[in-house]
Structure 1
Amino acid sequence: MNRTSSVVIVVLLASVGIGATYLAQHASAPRIAAEQRLIDSRNLLDLLPPDSYDNQPLEQPLNLDNVALPNSTLLGGYRATRAGQPSAVLLRSQAVGYAGSIELLIAIDANGKLLGVKTLRQSETPGLGGKLADWPNTWLQVFSGKSATEPADSGWALKKDQGQFDQMAGATITSRAVINALHDSLRYFDEHEQQLVGSSAHE
């Protein structure tokens, strides 16, 4: 076998290998995408009671994109419905903590009350503000049932700032950032209820 034939064979084998790899990746792409959607769904929707919605909230994104609020930024959101009626919204909020950005997922029911909060991303000090990433999170659970007006504006602060809430131990700045982001999101919900849920459920 001469040198030219050897080169041709190597090129052909390489082409066949590349083609087979491409076909395998192309064939598995839908399955991988479906698995990723399932992971995202579990991660984002576990704040909502299972019987509170019957749609696919992640397929109903809200028209929110880097909405600047007084102490945070809304990165996006989703609407949950049951029997065609809005039941809750999920808002992705970003605030600045002690060591960097904190991204929260905030669930608010159609009446403007907080269903729950979880941390999606954070870079706070391990063992202090980093405890924010624990799930479930005892400190974050304290906010469930609160609204933009319950407590009043002055109550949406740490007790050391004459507010209503305790801080996470050793994490004053992180705690303030989260409280302010939650209050921002609840006020935004009240001010844009028609846009977010399509009704004025708690007038």
Structure 2
Amino acid sequence: MSARMRNAAWLLLVAGLAVAATLAWRQWTRAPIIEAEKLWYTRQFLAVLPEQSYDNQPLDTPLPLPGEQPARSRITAAYRATLAMKPTAIVLVSQVQGYAGPIRLVIAISAEGRLIGTQVIEQQESPGLGGRISDPQVNWLGQFANRRLDDRWALRRDQGDFDQLAGATVTSRAVIAAQQEALAYFDQHRTLLLGGPAHE
């Protein structure tokens, strides 16, 4: 065998071993990566629920979405949190059109119909303006905690109960509408979402 053929064979062998090692590494790390992604997803979605308020894994069992969609927003998923097998909250994933693009929210509502909390999981709003809806230092979403459907779901400038995010009127109105419609959706389908009889 010539030197050229031996070199080619060695290169082929090294390349084959490198490909095999890469594939083995990818297979070996795939499960931990998937598990890490699932954990991140769970933390993002369940950050709206107080600790110790549930003992199940809500995201493992998505609920069927009953009824028609709200007028301005869209409910894309629903989950039930339980404690000792008793429903404590419904977590709704809502999407609404903001100023620069869709805003995705996770909205937790107590079994009694009060808004527990809202978390932004995706948004494309202008940095320094509407983009501050997800800024924990601004905590604009904090003003909605413990509110009910019969509150005045509008900005103060529109005769409502809520402060505007400075410089972001469109974003503020969109997020307020999404939360109000989530509460209305829960109220309309309360029995089904909480796991009662199928009739409403």
User: TM-score, structure 1 length as denominator?
Assistant: 0.88
Amino acid at match of 1:86: P
Local SS of the residue matching 2:52:
helix
CA distance in 2, matches of 1:75, 1:56: 19
| Cα pair distance change 1:168/1:68, threshold 3 Å | same
Tell me the CA shift for residue 172 of structure 1: 1.0
Root-mean-square deviation over aligned CA pairs: 2.1
Please give the residue correspondences for 1:55-94 in structure 2 after superposition, counting only pairs within 5 Å. Answer: 55-64=56-65, 68-94=69-95
Residue of structure 2 equivalent to 1:25 = 26
Distance 2:111 2:196 in 1: 9
Q: What is the CA-CA distance between 1:5 and the residue it aligns to?
A: 3.7
Shift of 1:137: 4.9
Match for residue 164 of structure 1?
161
- The aligned amino acid for 1:184 is E
Separation in 1, partners of 2:18, 2:111: 54
Q: Give yes or no for contact 2:133–2:139 (8 Å, CA) kept in 1.
A: no
Structure 1's unaligned 5+ residue stretches are none
2:182 to 182, 185, 194: 185
Whether contact under 8 Å (1:118, 1:135) holds in the other structure is: no
Whole-Å Cα distance in 2 between the matches of residues 11 and 33 of structure 1? 33
SS at match of 2:40: helix
Letter in 2 for 1:17: A
State the shift of 1:6 in Å. 3.1
Separation in 2, partners of 1:118, 1:171 = 18
The one-letter amino acid paired with 1:96 is Q
Q: Give 1:160's aligned amino acid.
A: R
Q: Secondary structure at the match of 2:161?
A: coil
- Which ranges in structure 2 are unaligned for 5 or more consecutive residues? none
TM-score by length of 2: 0.89
Cα distance between partner residues in 1 of 2:8 and 2:79: 56
SS of the residue 1:108 aligns to: strand
Equivalenced residue count is: 196
**Counterpart for residue 12 of structure 1:** 13
